[in-house]
Amino acid sequence: AFAQNAPVAGEAGSEDTTITFTARRMESVIAKGKEKTILIGEAVVNTGTMEIKAERIELSGTDYNDVLCAGSVSVFDESKGFLLKAANLKYARDTEIGLAQNQVVLEDSKNDVLLKAEWVRFDQKQSLVDARISVHILKEDFAARAEFVHYDRNDESLQLSGTPVAVSADGRIEADTMTGTTTMDDMAFGGRVSGTITTKKKEGTSP
C-alpha cells in the first residue's frame, strides 16, 4: 500500500467518466486485482453532476466505478434536487445506483419531500427510491410512515407497506397497504383500514 499524508487532490478515470477528489490524506493499494484508492479525512469526490462527501471514501473497480463511503456521508446533486445524508454508502458510477444505510435522510427539493429511513436504495437515472425500516415521509400538508416504501420522484407516486400510517389535516389512516402520491386525497388504501377523519364544521350550523 502507498500512503500520502499531506492534503491531496486529483483526477482519475477515462475522459467520459472523469472523477475528481480531495482529502486530507490518501492511501493506494496496487496489488493486482485489488487496486483501490482510499481517501481519508474530509474526503470529497465529484462525478458527473454529483458531489459525494465522507470521512472515508474508497474508490475501486474499472475507472474507479465503485465508491464506498463511511462517516458523515452526504450526496448532493443540485441538477436533480437531490441531497442525501447517511452513515454509510455504496455507489456504482456506471448504473448511478446507490445504497445508503443508517440514519438516512433524503431531501427531494424538486418535490419538497423529506424521507427518513435506515436503508435507502436510490436510482439516479430513473429517479426511483426504495426505503426500508422506520421510513418516514414528510411534506408540508402530509406525513406517512411505514416499514417499506417505493417512491418515484418523477411524479411523487408512493407505494407503502408494513403497517403504513398516513396523516394530514383531514385525519389519520392506517391500512395494510397504501398507494398514491404525497397527498391524502390521492391515496388508495388496501386491506384492513382504520382511522380518524377530521370534519369541518359548516357555517351556520350548531355545534
Mean pLDDT of 164-169: 94
Instruction: Look at residue 206 in the predicted model and tell me its pLDDT.
Output: 41
Q: How far is residue 46's CA from residue 54's CA, in Å, rounded to a whole number?
A: 12
Judged on CB neighbours under 10 Å (0-12, 13-18, 19+), 84 is buried
Instruction: Look at residue 11 in the predicted model and tell me its pLDDT.
Output: 63
pTM attached to this predicted model: 0.85
Higher pLDDT, 4 or 122: 122
Instruction: Look at residue 29 in the predicted model and tell me its pLDDT.
Output: 85
Other Cβ atoms less than 10 A from the Cβ of 34: the count is 8
Mean pLDDT of 26-51: 90
Instruction: Give the confidence band of 16 by pLDDT, cuts at 50, 70, 90.
Output: low
β-strand 128-139 against 113-123: which pairing, if any?
antiparallel
Instruction: Give the confidence band of 14 by pLDDT, cuts at 50, 70, 90.
Output: very low
Domain ranges of the chain: 1-94, 123-198
Instruction: Give the confidence band of 202 by pLDDT, cuts at 50, 70, 90.
Output: low
